Each structure stands twice: as structure tokens, then as C-alpha cells.
Amino acid sequence: MMRMTLAIAAALLATAASAQTMQNEPAAPPAPPAATTGAGIDATTARKALEGAGYADIQEMTRKADGSWEGKASRNGRQATVTVLPDGTVSAPPPQ
């Protein structure tokens, strides 16, 4: 019985020491957001997002390092520079 008690005590001490060591180790840094890793959507998806937002005559689409797409498109007869963000959101200047 005494040996078993000593074995359990030794196991508990080893577990406690291990847990203390793990608490002192720094956490791994968080992964960067998708937008900064170059992830994003493809050209076809970007074009469909613009068309869905009412744009036509989509031209000069260029992929940026952050995964967004920028180009020119027209809506309601007015041409504008448009951006499709990596999540598919369309961003454009307000009409003037």
C-alpha cells in the first residue's frame, strides 16, 4: 500500500511539474488574417460579385497582393474604379 501511495505521489508531482513548464512557454503567435496572406477569390468570382452589384463593362481587373481585385466598371452609365475585397465584398466610390 505504501509503494502505491508513493507511486501516485510521484506521478502527481511529475504532472504538476510538467503543467508548470507548459505555463511558462509562450503561446504560438496567431495566424495572420486571410487578407494579408494573399488568399482571396479568383477573377471569375470577383467579376460575378461586380455583376451582382449592378456593374457592367468590367475591365482591367488586377489582383493585388492582399487578395483583392481592382479594375474599372460602369453602373448606371458611369465608369468607376472598383475593388472586390478577398471576401467578395464590392467596394466603389459613391456616385457623383
CB count within 10 Å of CB 10 equals 10
What distance in Å separates the CA atoms of residue 45 and residue 89, rounded to the nearest whole number? Answer: 11
Interacting residues of 14 by C-beta distance below 8 A, sequence separation 6+: none
The pLDDT profile of the chain, 96 residues, written as one tens digit per residue, is 666 676 676 666 666 655 554 555 566 655 544 444 457 899 999 999 999 999 999 999 999 999 999 999 999 999 999 999 999 999 877 665
Q: Which residues pair with 58 in a beta bridge?
A: none
> For position 37, what pLDDT does the model report?
44
Under 8 Å between Cβ of 62 and 44? no
Closest Cα partner for 95 from 75, 65, 69, 72? Answer: 75
pLDDT (0 to 100) of residue 8: 76
